[in-house]
Structures are given as structure tokens and as C-alpha cells.
């Protein structure tokens, strides 16, 4: 498959960067990877007043987003690697969804608030993320980022698009062996992608 790998973390020396590198297991399994590193490229997550005003205009020009939109349309699978902060993705990644997953790109409005998926080329999504919080707290608050993907992002893709959630909870107290085991788990899961 053609996989769009989106990485979102501000530090090059982070554990998250090691997780991004572990995603090379996809290439070893024969997939073609196209990479987007939002911080590395300096992606601007801010939705301007002009963009918001033209949000529903599918013919509006968005020259700074052309590459991102084209990559999304080429992808058969999407792999997102990011840390979960405050029960959600970093603002940079949330801004990528706000600015790139637009009407005419990710969906079309078909009548009274009915969304029609436009990214039916994407048949699989994998999220690789870390949480500082323990698992019990995530259950208590209802896994808000998982819900965003399950009920917001996934329905804009192919029917029966598979969502794989690969998460390390309790990251703030994770030891080096725990981190190494998680990297092995990421490699194993993505090798079987």
C-alpha cells in the first residue's frame, strides 16, 4: 500500500521521533511511505479568517496546502505518530486536520448536514501515540482522541476503513525497557499492516 506517515512532535531527539523511525517497518513489509513531518516543515496550523470564510468553497485556492492535499489523495493508508497532550493530539496536528481535511477534500456536504466521504482511497488508519496518563484515567475520560478518529476521521475514508490504535499509556513513568518493548510492538504491528 501507499502509506502517508504523518509525524507531529517538536523535538528531533524525542521518544516520539524513535516511534516515527520504527514506522520504517512498513517499508520492510513492502509498503511505499510518503512522509510528512509537520514540525520539521514548519506547517502553519492556524486557520486564518480568510480560510474560514472560504471554508465551504471547494473552488477556493489553497496554494500552501496543495502538497498536503495531494499526499492525502494518493494515500491508501494513513499512519499518524504523535504524543497525546491534554487528551488530544498536539495543536499542530489538530490544525492539520482543520486546514487540510476540507470540504471537497475529505468530505462533501450532501444536504441537511450529511457528510459524504471523499477520502475513500484510505482503507486503513494507524495511530501510534503515547499518553502521560495511566490507562484507567483514559477509560474514565472516555479516550477523547480515539473517539475523534473513530467517529470523526475514519468515517471520511473508505467504507469499513480499519483503525489500529497502538498506544503507550503512563509514558511519564515509562522505563527504558518499557519504551523498548513498545517500539518492538510498533514494529511488529506495522510489519503486519
* Cα 48 from Cα 68, distance rounded (Å): 17
CA-to-CA dists, residue 145 to 29, 100, 165, 186, angstroms: 28, 18, 10, 19
Cell of 82: 504523535
Note the pLDDT tens digit of each residue in 48-79: 999 999 988 888 888 889 999 999 999 999 99
Nearest to 183 by CA among 25, 11, 8: 25
Rounded Cα–Cα distance for residues 113 and 48 (Å): 23
User: CA-to-CA distance for 96 and 120, rounded, in angstroms?
Assistant: 19
Of 118, 111, 102, nearest to 59 by C-alpha is: 102
Task: Supply the range of the domain harboring residue 104.
Answer: 2-192
CATH of residue 174's domain is 3.40.50.360
Q: How many domains does the chain have?
A: 1
Q: How far apart are the first and last CA of the chain?
A: 9
- pLDDT tens string for the chain (193 positions)? 999 999 999 998 899 999 999 988 898 889 999 999 999 999 999 999 999 999 888 888 888 899 999 999 999 999 999 999 988 899 999 999 999 999 999 999 876 667 899 999 999 999 999 988 878 877 888 788 999 999 999 999 999 999 999 999 989 899 999 999 999 999 999 988 8
> 101: closest CA among 130, 71, 146, 81?
71
- Separation of alpha carbons 107 and 124, rounded Å: 17
Q: Per-residue pLDDT tens for 160-170?
A: 999 999 999 98
- Rounded to an integer, what distance in angstroms lies between the CA atom of residue 166 and that of residue 140? 19
Which pLDDT belongs to residue 112?
A: 65
111 DSSP assignment: S
Amino acid at each position: 500500500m501507499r502509506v502517508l506517515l504523518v509525524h507531529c512532535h517538536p523535538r528531533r531527539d524525542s521518544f516520539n521521533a524513535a516511534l516515527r523511525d520504527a514506522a520504517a517497518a512498513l517499508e520492510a513489509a513492502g509498503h511505499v511511505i510518503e512522509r510528512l513531518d509537520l514540525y520539521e516543515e514548519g506547517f502553519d496550523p492556524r486557520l486564518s479568517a480568510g480560510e474560514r470564510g472560504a471554508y465551504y468553497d471547494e473552488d477556493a485556492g489553497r496554494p500552501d496546502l496543495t502538497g498536503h492535499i495531494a499526499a492525502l489523495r494518493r494515500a491508501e493508508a494513513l499512519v499518524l505518530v504523535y504524543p497525546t497532550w491534554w487528551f488530544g493530539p498536539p495543536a499542530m496536528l489538530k490544525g492539520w486536520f482543520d486546514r487540510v481535511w476540507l470540504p471537497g477534500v475529505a468530505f462533501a456536504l450532501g444536504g441537511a448536514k450529511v457528510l459524504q466521504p471523499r477520502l475513500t482511497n484510505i482503507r486503513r488508519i494507524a495511530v501510534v501515540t503515547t499518553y502521560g496518563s495511566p490507562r484507567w484515567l483514559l477509560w474514565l475520560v472516555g479516550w477523547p482522541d480515539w473517539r475523534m478518529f473513530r467517529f470523526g476521521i475514519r468515517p471520511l475514508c473508505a467504507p469499513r476503513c480499519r483503525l489500529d490504535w497502538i498506544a503507550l499509556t503512563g509514558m511519564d513513568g515509562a522505563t527504558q525497557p518499557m519504551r523498548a518493548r513498545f517500539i518492538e510492538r510498533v514494529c511488529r504491528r506495522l510489519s503486519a499492516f
